[in-house]
Amino acid sequence: MRKATIYFIFAIAGLLFSCNQKSNIQEDNSINALGDEKTSLVKNPLASDEDIKPIYLSTADFKKKIWDYDANPQEFVYQGELPCVIDFYADWCKPCKMVAPIMDDLADYYEGKVIIYKVNTDKERELASVFQVTSIPAILFAPMSGKPAMQPGALAKEDYVKIIDEFVLKLTTENSKKI
């Protein structure tokens, strides 16, 4: 009985300590876990003061803003004005819920450079099947030209920043220099 009491006290102390640590981390989110200032998500200085949230897409909106796969089924032809990132998710998915605040941060950080969209796979089954989304979250990265890339699974914020900077924005910048 005495050991159980001691274990209980340590468990409560550990819980309180971890809750305190979590709140400290949330207070300073301008520096990532690696301490790398390049990929830390500080609000875009050119952005507005309002929080920018990801835009929810229906299949019809997707065909207008991203790619009309009925009109051009053989080739991905991006129709947007800015490159984009599309988060395929479902409300019941726990990893999707972990990615959601990251996508919110990315929408703020990349305002005016990259548009962040969300597609609910339960509501937009046709769209999920076009991209063969069988596991969620699945994130589609679409530069202005070239083929998009799909990344299944939840990643750390720094990984998404790296992919956006090195794939989405780099391809967009390289292709605009060629024109």
Catalytic residue numbers?
A: 93, 96
How many angstroms separate the CA atoms of 66 and 117, rounded?
A: 10
Which residues are bridge partners to 55 per DSSP? Answer: 117
Give the count of alpha carbons within 13 A of 87, CB side only: 28
How many angstroms separate the CA atoms of 43 and 47, rounded?
A: 7
